[in-house]
Amino acid sequence: LTDIRELHREKDVYIGKEITVGGWVRNNRDSKNFGFLVINDGTFFEPLQVVYGDGLENFQEICKINVGAAVVIRGTIVATPEAKQAFEMQAAEVIVEGPSTADYPLQKKRHSFEYLRTISHLRARTNTFQAVFRVRSLIAYAIHTFFMERGFVYVHTPLITSSDCEGAGEMFQVTTLDMNNVPKTEDGKVDYTQDFFGKPVNLTVSGQLDVETYAFAFKNVYTFGPTFRAENSNTTRHAAEFWMIEPEICFADLKDDMILAESMLKYVIRYVLENAPEEMAFFNQFVDKGLIERLQHVVNSDFGHVTYTEAIKILEKHNDEFDYKVFWGCDLQTEHERYLTEKEFKRPVFVTDYPKEIKAFYMKLNEDGKTVAAMDCLVPGIGEIIGGSQREDNLEILEKRMEELGLNKEDYQFYLDLRRYGSARHAGFGLGFERCVMYITGMGNIRDVIPFPRTVNNCDL
Ligand code: 4AD
Ligand code: MG
């Protein structure tokens, strides 16, 4: 079978040739003795128009083909200089491989993203979602290529874990215990010794702690996999299941970490602009006007840098515009992040050196004793897309911090060992994959960039 993408890209090669395509019917119009089928095979936006005539033995059957049916068609490509599309196919044979019915949910009209979310198993057959999920696939490839070209080792970190990397308590528990008949110990607590792992475990919120152990073996590593957070936030940028890219680099500090993050984002944007021009033109026209120009600007300019303390000073001047008023020590909300990146810097910006109280236990304490060597990368339209830091490599300081936060050191012996045996400066970050896809495609809702979104009260299909 020939890809319809191929036909569009190499038109001249195909004019006059007989080929076979397989795809799904987008539209079918017939008049008395001929008709038009519009076919999409998922390889290109532009469909293929097929003309069929009553010379075909199953002409009557073809006239009745419903939208959504799967067909295999043999025919000759002919130039159509007067028509909107440059060529069409004259069918010699039309085989209906799988018919469809008149109640097919994707009829030839514009459907809202909200409606399409209710049929997530079918929405990838629409132009928008074809573009989104092809670009999503390409971004994943670009990220792997970026790290592989630089000699990073890809580490598959576990999804089931007994630690809470971020310490935010937003974990989904994994258990084989019968919820209707939970075994109890004598003092009335859940008896986890009877659970599968003999102790409580959860789905990972981040692969960082595991990947750090591999950084101390391979120097430069990354993990790229699903992560899970039971955050009760019903927003356009939070999902309960999302993918994260987490590199970890040894003999490196926060500055090196930001250089890596900036070059990775620029590499990925450039890669998509070059390798998915049709999809990007589509987003630029139908989803987010000005997208391409903005991304090109991002690729060609330096990201901004501001410390948390400076950022608070900037934001305090605009407190009357915010729902949440900022003060030194507060966590930045999306509205503040977006103000900084959209109004103040007008480009991606790194905010660094946050108060230790609002960041995770593993971040390196700065000399002021109050802030940590953390960085968040904020981008226009979304806010935080990357969170990272230099890690605390001093055993005593790390243990003290864990005590302050009431973490059980027994659970983190493997992590403390890294500081006992050959500790080294190291840093890393986590890029939210879906937020990256949103940023590059201009799509406004995280539910529309992951095939089957999991959010509060939604785990259908
Ligand atoms: O800032 P976070 O929580 O950082 C970490 O998990 C670190 N362990 C990463 C590291 O240093 N290795 O999450 C990293 C990124 C965020 O910047 C955001 O883009 C994304 O993950 N993210 C989410 N994306 C979608 N839905 C959610 N609920 C998300 N929570 C975080
Ligand atoms: Mg964060």
Q: Are 371 and 353 in contact (CB under 8 A)?
A: yes
pLDDT 10s digits, 177-195: 999 999 999 999 999 999 9
Q: How far is CA 324 from CA 30, 137, 160, 315, 331, in A?
A: 60, 37, 36, 11, 10
**Distance from the first to the final alpha carbon of the chain:** 31
Cα torsion at 171, 175, 179, 184 (round to 10°)?
-100
DSSP 152: P
| pLDDT over threshold 80, residue 233 | yes
pLDDT 10s digits, 262-302: 999 999 999 999 999 999 999 999 999 999 999 999 999 99
Q: Are 204 and 241 in contact (CB under 8 A)?
A: no
Per-residue pLDDT, 300? 95
Mean pLDDT of 200-207: 96
| pLDDT over threshold 90, residue 304 | yes
- Cα 385 to averaged position of ligand 1 atoms, centre (Å): 8
Q: Are 85 and 46 in contact (CB under 8 A)?
A: yes
* Nearest of 321, 326, 324, 319 to residue 355 by alpha carbon: 326
Per-residue pLDDT, 32? 87
Best of 244, 256, 334, 354 for a ligand 1 pocket test (most atoms within 8 Å of beta carbon): 244
Per-residue pLDDT, 239? 97
| pLDDT over threshold 90, residue 226 | yes
The residue whose C-alpha atom lies closest to atom 20 belonging to ligand 1 is 432
Best of 205, 206, 390, 443 for a ligand 1 pocket test (most atoms within 8 Å of beta carbon): 206
Mean pLDDT of 18-27: 97
Atom nearest to 430 CA in ligand 1: 9
pTM: 0.96
The residue whose C-alpha atom lies closest to atom 28 belonging to ligand 1 is 238
Confidence of residue 232 (pLDDT cuts 50, 70, 90): confident
Which amino acid belongs to residue 333? Q
- Cα 315 to averaged position of ligand 1 atoms, centre (Å): 23
Please name the helix (run of DSSP H) or strand (run of DSSP E) that holds residue 196, with its range, or none.
Answer: none
Q: Which residues line ligand 1 (CB under 6 A)?
A: 165-166, 206, 208, 229, 231, 238-239, 242, 244, 246, 384-389, 428-430, 432, 434-435, 446
Per-residue pLDDT, 46? 87
| pLDDT over threshold 80, residue 254 | yes
pLDDT 10s digits, 417-448: 999 999 999 999 999 999 999 999 999 999 99
Which of the pair, 400 or 44, is modelled with greater confidence? Answer: 400
Percent of the chain with pLDDT over 90: 93
Per-residue pLDDT, 164? 87
Atom nearest to 248 CA in ligand 1: 12
Per-residue pLDDT, 327? 97
Atom nearest to 239 CA in ligand 1: 26
Mean pLDDT of 151-169: 93
| Edge-to-edge strands, sheet with 304-307 | 153-154, 220-228, 241-250, 426-432, 383-390, 374-379, 349-352, 304-307
Mean pLDDT of 41-56: 94
- Cα 71 to averaged position of ligand 1 atoms, centre (Å): 43
